[in-house]
Amino acid sequence: MIFYGVFHPTAKCFGRLNFQRSIRFCFVNHIELSFFLFPRRSTLKNLFLLATSQHVIVGSIDSNRNQLQITYYAKQDGNQTYSSSVPWSFDFKQSQTQCKTLNNQIICANNDELSLITIPTTINDANVRTNQIKLSNTISEIKILSESNTRSVVSVKTNDGQTKLYQFNKKEGTIEWDYKELETQTQSNSLFSIVSNENLLEATAVEEKLNFYVSSIGDQGLTKKRSYSVELPENMGGIEYLSYSIVRNTQLATLRMADASLLAIKLTENGGR
Query: Where is average pLDDT lowest: 229-233, 235-239, 245-249?
Result: 245-249
Q: Are 55 and 72 in contact (CB under 8 A)?
A: yes
Burial of 225 (0-12, 13-18, 19+ CB in 10 A): exposed
Indicate whether this model's pTM tops 0.85. no
* pLDDT mean over 232-247: 93
- How do residues 101-158 score in pLDDT, each as one tens digit? 988 999 999 999 999 999 988 888 778 888 999 999 999 999 999 999 889 999 999 9
Tell me, yes or no, whether 2 lies in a domain. Answer: no
Tell me, yes or no, whether 1 lies in a domain. Answer: no
Tell me, yes or no, whether 270 lies in a domain. Answer: yes
Tell me, yes or no, whether 105 lies in a domain. Answer: no
Tell me, yes or no, whether 253 lies in a domain. Answer: yes
Calpha distance 104→44 (Å, rounded): 20
Q: Quick check: 18 pLDDT over 60?
A: no
The domain of 212 spans: 183-273
Tell me, yes or no, whether 222 lies in a domain. Answer: yes
Calpha distance 32→11 (Å, rounded): 9
pLDDT at 3: 41
Considering its fold, how many domains does the chain have in total?
Answer: 1
Tell me, yes or no, whether 193 lies in a domain. Answer: yes
Tell me, yes or no, whether 242 lies in a domain. Answer: yes
pLDDT at 187: 65
